[in-house]
Structure 1
Amino acid sequence: MEFLAAGLSPLAVAAAMAVALLAGFVKGAVGFAMPLIMISAFSAFLPADLALAGMMLPTLVTNLSQAFRQGWGPALETTRTYRRFLIATVVFIAVSAQVFDLIPRVAYLLLLGLPVTAFAAAQLAGVPLALPLHHRVRAEWTLGVIGGLYGGISGIWGPPLLVFLLSTGVPKTEMVRAQGVVFLIGAVALLAAHLGTGLANPSSLTFSALLVIPAQIGMWAGFKLQDRLDQARFRRWTQALLVLTGLNLVRQALM
């Protein structure tokens, strides 16, 4: 097959499928972290370009399921509500994808990992970090730009959105749906951008398509857990996972 011809062993493919299954489960449970888990794990045994390409189709398909889980109406309303974040993210994914191989990896990992860790840890510790209503529009544009810049380079644009949603106290169902909508449109933009750069090609996309199956299976299992979590527990799980996410980004930078 294409990805085997590109140099991947059957063991590496099996390991990637196991990672996709785990990432799908976590995403189904809390609504995010699939790209973070996949990129973090893939970096141990895959080239950087194949790691980024490999997560593109699983991310796109699982976000489609997440965004439209309650139907078209709520998904379209969420799109309208978070349109500023979406516009900024899509535009800056396209911009930053063009310099994918020019940005030092350590720089973007630290610049994202440190503030995300500090924010989520403060929320876990009970420090109130609610965003005043009159700052929300400005914050939405700013965090959308940041998410887009990181998204085109690393395939990770979730943490800035999580910071915004946690700061504004969004209910669980809307929070998960908003992540699905934003991540879906971002995933389409990322794929389109890297079809242009050549990083997404028949070989890498064949590998990525194989990972859709375990990712989707994991996600449906995660949905079952999410449905049993009340609002308070869901928020705590989200904050805790965001702390681990930030620390992992810092760890990768220091290594």
Structure 2
Amino acid sequence: MVRRQTPENRIVPSYEKDSNSDMTESTIFFLSFTLTFLAAGLVKGVTGMGLPTVAMGLLGSVVPPATAAAILVIPSFVTNVWQLLAGPATASLLRRLWPMMLAVMVGTVGAAALLVRVDPLWSAFSLGVALVVYSVYSLFAPALSVEPRIESWLSPVIGMLTGVVTGVTGVFAIPAVPYLQSLNLDKDELVQALGLSFTVSTIALAIGLMVYGAFQLNQLGLSALAIVPALIGMWLGQKVRAMISPKRFRQCFLVFMVLLGLELTSRPFF
């Protein structure tokens, strides 16, 4: 009698094991990718900001920060241009803030070399430090006010620092967000100013990544795909905003960012 080979006792060839392993890894990445941009869009829908910060923090925990930054380009650009153009102050903000935006562009493109070339563990460490500093500052720092007489020279300085931090970590918020909040803009102008700063940072980061060979054409499809969960998350965030206090949600989000930042900063040492 010839014994039939059953699925249970069949020897699995190595190429099938590799195929199964690759499929599992792809599924885990796709789920992480989708949940990341849902969460990032949710935060932006509730608070009006935070999509790049959340996406970099979460994606940076599963892929190298340079790869995370490349994936972030299109959803960040689309959502921030929308935010920039959603009010009447676009032209006046461009006239007022162009020195800062020019410095952001120069600093980001120059510093992006570090994001690409440094060991991913240390890039993640820098990203973690940026997340912790931004979150702790946002939780505890008092509101600041910049006098108009110093804005002309302070804006380019802040822009250059923001560009360097963006180039090194992929996070756009430091120190641009607290600085723009200190300019005594009204609520709608502040939302547009943040949209302007984040849009310029996104463009500059994309240029920097392309210059240093870390932004490939085959990443455009994945980056474009991220728009869908990001917009769904924003829509859900707007619904959530109507049910809970945005202030309390923002506090919880910042505490989570601190914990995520601490995890990223610990990686080179464990």
The Cα shift of 1:97 comes to 1.4
Aligned residues: 243
- CA distance in 1: counterparts of 2:181 and 2:251, whole angstroms: 8
Q: Secondary structure at the match of 2:114?
A: coil
Q: How does 1:61-80 map to 2 (within 5 A)?
A: 61-70=78-87, 73-80=88-95
C-alpha displacement of 1:198? 2.0
| Aligned twin of 2:74 | 57
User: Where do residues 75-224 of structure 1 align in structure 2 (5 Å cutoff)?
Assistant: 75-103=90-118, 104-105=122-123, 108-109=126-127, 112-113=130-131, 115-123=133-141, 127=142, 129-223=144-238
Alpha-carbon separation, structure 1, partners of 2:193 and 2:242: 16
User: Bigger radius of gyration, 1 or 2?
Assistant: 2
State which drifts further: 219-228 or 35-44.
219-228
**1:50 to 1:130, Cα distance in 2 relative to 1, 3 A:** same
CA RMSD of aligned residues (A): 3.1
Give unmatched runs, 5+ long, in structure 2. Answer: 1-21
% identical aligned pairs: 23
Contact 2:65 2:170 in 1 (8 A): no
Residues 249 and 11 (structure 1 numbering): CA distance in 2 closer, same or farther, change over 3 Å?
closer
Structure with the greater relative contact order (CA < 8 A, sep ≥ 6): 1 or 2?
Answer: 1
Aligned position for 1:26: 43
Change in 2 beyond 3 A, CA 1:111/1:85:
farther
How far the C-alpha of 1:163 sits from its partner, in A, is 1.1
Quick one: distance in 2 between partners of 1:235 and 1:43? 26
In the aligned structure 2, how far is the partner of 1:144 from the partner of 1:254? 29
Change in CA separation of 1:66 and 1:138 when aligned onto 2, cut-off 3 Å: same
Consecutive unaligned residues in structure 1, runs of 5 or more: none
State the TM-score, normalizing by the size of structure 2.
0.75
